[in-house]
Amino acid sequence: MFKVTPNPPETPTVSPEETLDSKKLHEAVHQPLDHYLTPPPSDKPRASDDRPPQIFTVAPDINPEALLAHAYETFCSASSLTLDLSDDLEGKHRNLALAIYSLMELGLLLVEKMMDREQSVKV
């Protein structure tokens, strides 16, 4: 059987970019990207020391020993909660809870060491 089409088929010498308006194509591609990925311009430049407002603050004149005691109690409470939680978990989640517990115990040891130093300085 004889084919009517040439073998290989002839291709036009004009590239697709020349037939389409490349500027419109560029705009069509970048408009949605710019909409979702480019942050909106702000009215005022953000200063480097601009921080979100603090919810909790520590009194500036508080005794360092009181700070250490409170940090110690916080670590103890969080460690107990995490250890109790790990009893109810299994597998990967239990391992994760025990890893968090270990990090809290490390923090607790550091606070204890600091409290010992604070005590030795006062005596």
Query: How much is the pLDDT for 17?
Result: 55
Report the chain's mean pLDDT, rounded to a whole number. Answer: 79
Query: How much is the pLDDT for 24?
Result: 78
- The reply to whether the predicted model has a pTM over 0.85 is no
CB 75 within 8 A of CB 107: yes
Confidence of residue 11 (pLDDT cuts 50, 70, 90): low
Average pLDDT over residues 58-74: 87
Rounded CA-CA distance 22/123 in Å is 80
Average pLDDT over residues 24-47: 73
Average pLDDT over residues 53-62: 83
- Whether omega for the bond prior to residue 9 falls within 30 degrees of 0, making it cis, is no
Give kind and range of the element (H or E) at residue 107.
Answer: helix 91-122
